[in-house]
Amino acid sequence: MPSATCVYLARHGQTAYNLEGRFQGQLPVALDDTGRAQAAELAERAAEHDFAKLWCSPLLRARETADIVAARIGLEPCEDARLMETDAGDWTDRTFADVQAEAPEAFAAFVAGEPDFAFPGGESFTQQGIRVAAALADIERGTLPALVVCHGGVIRIAIFQRVSRSVAMSERVPNGALVPLAPAAAKRADTGGGAAAQLS
């Protein structure tokens, strides 16, 4: 299998939901002005890597980010639904504060990134991890080097799977971040710190 040093993961730019502290899950939420600027900055960093393939989640915020990157590096984004953010189920479109007040223990498990956490009426991190691992395995067997524009949850899970670093599941991945998938590099990756609740 090709070395994962040939694959980088990028988080989409900011949305109004990120700013408000609201679960967007798999809703079609667009980038805000800050998010579009972050995507443009990401595009400049991506241009330094000579990527041969560009993948993305089909969710609007990731696709918009990928389109901005694509215009800079001259690649057409390829969508893969397995790269989508976790299905937040009944928590979709609700604020973090509202959910925390109603279900503090479940919210704490979400923030901690517990692998067996499952959104009520939605997806578990374990279920998401299965599809993410399958998508990345296919990407690594394809054209490289590759850039994957996706979501904070996807990046956390991918790092957790590669380096068995439990703290990775609760670390914040900033909007517009560019993270190497290689295990050695991922161990040193600065994902920004902070609560997982800020990542969806």
- Catalytic residue annotation: 12, 85
Q: CA dihedral defined by 78, 81, 82, 85, rounded to 10 degrees?
A: 110
Q: In what order do the strands lie in the sheet with 7-11?
A: 78-79, 53-56, 146-150, 7-11, 178-180
Query: Are 188 and 22 a contacting pair, CB within 8 Å?
Result: no
State the CB neighbour count (10 A cutoff) for residue 102.
11
Length of the chain: 200
d(CA 163, CA 117): 20
